[in-house]
Amino acid sequence: MNKLRRVLLVAAVVVIGFFVWRFCFPNPQQVIRRRLNEVARLASFTPNEGAISRLAKIQRLGLFFAEDVQVTVDIPGYESHTFNRREEVMQVVMASPRLGAGVAAQFLDMNIQMGSGDESAMVDLTLEAKISGESDLLAQELNFTLKKIKGEWLITRVETVKTLKP
Amino acid sequence: MAGETKTLGISGWIQAVAIGRRPRRTLVRLTVLITLAVCVFLLFSFVLMPVRINGPSMMPTYQNGEINFINRLAYMNHEPQRGDVVGVRFSGPHVMYVKRIVGLPGETISFTGGCVCIDGKVLDEPYLKFPSTDWESPPKHLGPAEYYVVGDNRSMPFEDHQKGATERRRIIGRIVLHGQS
């Protein structure tokens, strides 16, 4: 019985140690996943959230993008558009009419492919967004390219993916 | 001594409640319960994927908010067929389109006067309850692993209806419960 208790104790310590190690020293995929989840959280607003809080979130959102980020939006029914540089992207976000409504955004099904040397990554994910007052969910597949710049994973490119090609 | 009763301590009481008077029977029941739970989990995780229809594009065949299942093993022995209602995944299985296959690999598909034309010939679609008369699109040739999918609600404006060619790898299965015909 003593031996069994000792074995169970050692196993519990190993398992807990593993999870603590993963939390304290995450691998690049885990870091990227956390950063992208934070991007989705900062892009979400409640309907009664104040303007100052929203602007603060958008400003913090800008820090996740590289200065020379390129965002290409090509959605069926709308003209394709490419936004270059972080400032232009932030201006478009701030001017968005949907900023007045509540938005709940989340990134699902992230597939992360690390580049050589673990200094870059491509992420294929699905953006799911619910706008307050609208019954339908918005879903859009996106491709993110991230690079490690000065120790931080920054988004350098975002493009929409056509799940169905018209 | 006669009349003496044995009182259970807390651990004894827990043991009596958890295991019962017949430990072997309890073990059998527990094994059956756990096996059932594992089977149900595996069934709904890897075989029958529950889905909730969102949006009007498959009306009236499938209603907005309706629950259905995608059979992930439907195409183990054969490829998707024309007329199949399938799940088309985005980057993973959490979000997908539920659409009907109208075009097969290698075919040329177009919309003329609201009708689907395959290689120039009008496709007979008996399942259509909300047809269109004004859907028009130029011919599109499908690649060797491409299928053309579209919803059954053709009364929607053409540009509002999500439709198009999708790769075979994105088709994860066929819908299980038949809708209103």
pLDDT band with cut points at 50, 70 and 90 for residue B7: low
Q: Is residue B4 part of a domain?
A: no
Nearest to B150 by CA among B172, B178, B176, B117: B117
Would you say A126 and A140 are in contact if contact means Cβ atoms under 8 Å apart? Answer: yes
Amino acid, single-letter form, for residue A47: P
Contact between A108 and B92 using a beta-carbon 8 Å cutoff: yes
- Same domain flag for B29 and B91: no
The pLDDT of residue B5 is 54
Q: Is the pLDDT of residue B122 over 70?
A: yes
Residues 6+ positions from A140 with CB-CB distance below 8 Å: A75, A126, A127, A160, A161
Q: Is the pLDDT of residue B179 over 80?
A: no
Say which CATH number the domain at B108 has: 2.10.109.10
Output the CA angle B154-B157-B160, nearest 5 degrees: 100
* Of the partner residues A108, A164, A166, the one whose CB lies closest to the CB of residue B97: A164
* Of the partner residues A77, A141, A166, the one whose CB lies closest to the CB of residue B91: A141
Q: Is the ipTM of this complex over 0.85?
A: no
Stretch A95-110: mean pLDDT: 82
**Tokens representing B160?**
């509002």
- Same domain flag for B80 and B110: yes
- Same domain flag for B42 and B68: no
- Same domain flag for B101 and B29: no
Mutation target among B53, B95, B156 for the A interface, most CBs of A within 10 A: B95
Phi, psi of A158 (to 5 degrees): -135, 130
Position of tokens 């690390």?
A114
- Same domain flag for B134 and B60: yes
- Same domain flag for B28 and B62: no
Q: What is the mean pLDDT of chain B?
A: 90
Tens of pLDDT along A16-28?
A: 999 999 888 889 9
Phi-psi region of B126 (alpha: psi -120 to 50; beta: other; left: phi over 0): alpha
Give B102 to chain A, closest Cα distance, Å: 13
Largest pairwise CA distance in chain B: 99
Contact between B90 and A126 using a beta-carbon 8 Å cutoff: yes
Distance CA B138, CA B132 (A): 16
Residues 6+ positions from B29 with CB-CB distance below 8 Å: none
Counting the structural domains of chain B, the total is 2
Contact between A109 and B166 using a beta-carbon 8 Å cutoff: no
- Same domain flag for B94 and B135: yes
Chain A residues lying within 8 Å of B163, measured CB to CB: 164, 166
Stretch A58-71: mean pLDDT: 93
Q: Is residue B180 part of a domain?
A: no
Considering the entire predicted model, what is its pTM?
A: 0.83
Q: What is the mean pLDDT of chain A?
A: 90
- Same domain flag for B26 and B99: no
pLDDT band with cut points at 50, 70 and 90 for residue A98: low
Stretch B80-103: mean pLDDT: 96
Q: Is the pLDDT of residue B4 over 80?
A: no
Percent pLDDT > 70 in chain B is 95
- Same domain flag for B24 and B96: no
> What's the CATH number for A26-161?
3.10.450.50
The pLDDT of residue B6 is 57
- Same domain flag for B31 and B73: no
Print the domain residue range for B125: 53-175
Q: Is residue B135 part of a domain?
A: yes
- Same domain flag for B110 and B158: yes
Chain A residues lying within 8 Å of B93, measured CB to CB: 109
Contact between A76 and B159 using a beta-carbon 8 Å cutoff: yes
- Same domain flag for B59 and B80: yes
Residue with the larger pLDDT of the pair A80 and B72: B72
